[in-house]
Structure 1
Amino acid sequence: MSAYKLAIFDWDGTLMDSVAHIVDSMQQAAYAVGEPVPASAEVRHIIGLGLPEAIAQLFPHAKPHTHEAIRQQYAQHFLAHSASRSQLFAGAEALLAQLRQQGYLLAIATGKSRLGLNRVLAQTGIGHYFVATRCADETASKPDPQMLKELLAYTGVSVDQAVMIGDTSYDLGMAQTLSMPRIGVSYGVHGVEVLQTYQPLAIVDSLYQLHDYLW
């Protein structure tokens, strides 16, 4: 028997190795519009938020039209190189296939836009594993738990029968707000020390290690 009925995955930094690409794209966008280029650590910290929220946090003194220019430059740079610079983490598709075979419903809760998620699901060919997805531009951005509430409502699964899997404080924080079981991954954005403050069931070092906690 599966430990849970619904496994909800974050995308960037959890299923897809895209953190370096996100950092570079944001730095290139800042440079293109003449804003101070944020340090890599600053950009890594906001990965997981919706793009408007991330830009507002990174460039708090910039005017709205500058935020929009940064957003456009970021999207342009990210899209131009996404196929070559972002790849699924080792074991991602095998894990999803095993979970589906085991009877799990699978979902995604991501800071990506709907357009961005649809594009990368098509590129990777793994969209068919997921019964539902929620993106930051169609509901509240993390760490607000609204996207988790919507996924629970859509699937009809109770909060105690779902588990959130992610690499950031935003992922674990929104799950903790709902008292949803949660598992952190250490290979993404936020360190183990940060993830531990959200009292996860476990923190794993690879997707392969999730097997022990989901079976």
Structure 2
Amino acid sequence: MNRLVVFDCDGTLVDSQANIVRAMEIAFDIHRLPPPDPHATRRVVGLSLVQAMCALLPDNDPALHEALAESYKRAFQTLRADGHVNEPLFPGIARLLDEIDARGWLMGVATGKSNRGLGLCLAHHGIGSRFVTLQTADRHPSKPHPAMLNAAMAEAGATPQATLMIGDTSFDMAMGCAAGARSVGVTWGYHDAHELHEAGAQYVIDTADALIALMEEPV
């Protein structure tokens, strides 16, 4: 039986909040709208772009949400092309991936990033080959819908009972619960421990090393 760890990306593997906030400011400026408060932007990280815009501007027309999402993508691509994107791995993540690999678990990613954005991020850190399945918001419904996680488990040949969903937001925890996986929240990202528990996290950890102990528990 394959055992699988599926990670969220932004706020879980990498610290990309400065890039996200800046791209959001640029996108709103293009449409002559006041930019959202950075805290509000951080609250919607993990959703697909259109869903994020809907959450930020719930009373506006869906066409504006779509347009803002496209502007955000272009802004992020421009920032990356100009060398202004900095998304370092969180402390302990590189070693954690080594530890998981050494224990024979498979790894995947389920993220609100686009397929292109995720590929560039993983390639930058030289970790793309670590993951047997990559699921992105441009190919699935937005979290917390379980489609991304269901697809990851199917590709990896893992059951929900043998799968850990690791993420920093309530959207990740709810997705894990909906797919029947064990949901593990991390406190170094965008949502706090209380929110993670409220969304269904079975465990909440403060360091990357703490995940190893959970992996030793019987499936």
TM-score by length of 2: 0.89
Higher fraction of helix? 1
Give the C-alpha shift of residue 46 in structure 1.
0.8
Q: 8 Å contact 1:173–1:198 — kept in the other structure?
A: yes
Q: How does 1:1-215 map to 2 (within 5 A)?
A: 5-82=3-80, 84-215=85-216
1:17 partner amino acid? D
1:85 partner amino acid? N
1:172 partner amino acid? M
Match of 2:110, SS state, is strand
1:13 partner amino acid? G
Give the C-alpha shift of residue 9 in structure 1.
0.4
Q: Summarize deviations over 1:160-187 as a string: whole Å, max 9, x none.
A: 0101000000000011123311110011
Q: Summarize deviations over 1:105-131 as a string: whole Å, max 9, x none.
A: 000010111111111111111001000
Measure, in 1, the Cα distance between the counterparts of 2:69 and 2:108.
26
Measure, in 2, the Cα distance between the counterparts of 1:123 and 1:81.
15
Give the C-alpha shift of residue 69 in structure 1.
3.8
> After alignment, is 104-113 or 20-29 more displaced?
20-29
2:68 partner amino acid? I
Q: 8 Å contact 1:19–1:188 — kept in the other structure?
A: no
Measure, in 2, the Cα distance between the counterparts of 1:77 and 1:207.
31
Q: 8 Å contact 1:49–1:170 — kept in the other structure?
A: yes
Match of 2:46, SS state, is coil
Match of 1:106, SS state, is strand
Match of 1:66, SS state, is helix
Give the C-alpha shift of residue 65 in structure 1.
4.8
Structure 1: gaps (5+ residues):
none
Distance 1:72 1:139, change over 3 A: closer
Q: 8 Å contact 1:48–1:111 — kept in the other structure?
A: yes
Amino-acid identity (%): 35
1:129 partner amino acid? R
Query: CA RMSD, aligned part only?
Result: 1.9
Measure, in 2, the Cα distance between the counterparts of 1:65 and 1:165.
33
The count of aligned residue pairs is 213
Structure 2: gaps (5+ residues):
none
Give the C-alpha shift of residue 33 in structure 1.
1.6
Give the C-alpha shift of residue 64 in structure 1.
4.7
Measure, in 2, the Cα distance between the counterparts of 1:169 and 1:64.
24
Give the C-alpha shift of residue 86 in structure 1.
1.3
Distance 1:85 1:152, change over 3 A: same
Q: Summarize deviations over 1:183-209 as a string: whole Å, max 9, x none.
A: 100110111110111342321112122
Q: Summarize deviations over 1:6-43 as a string: whole Å, max 9, x none.
A: 00000000000012321222122112321121112211
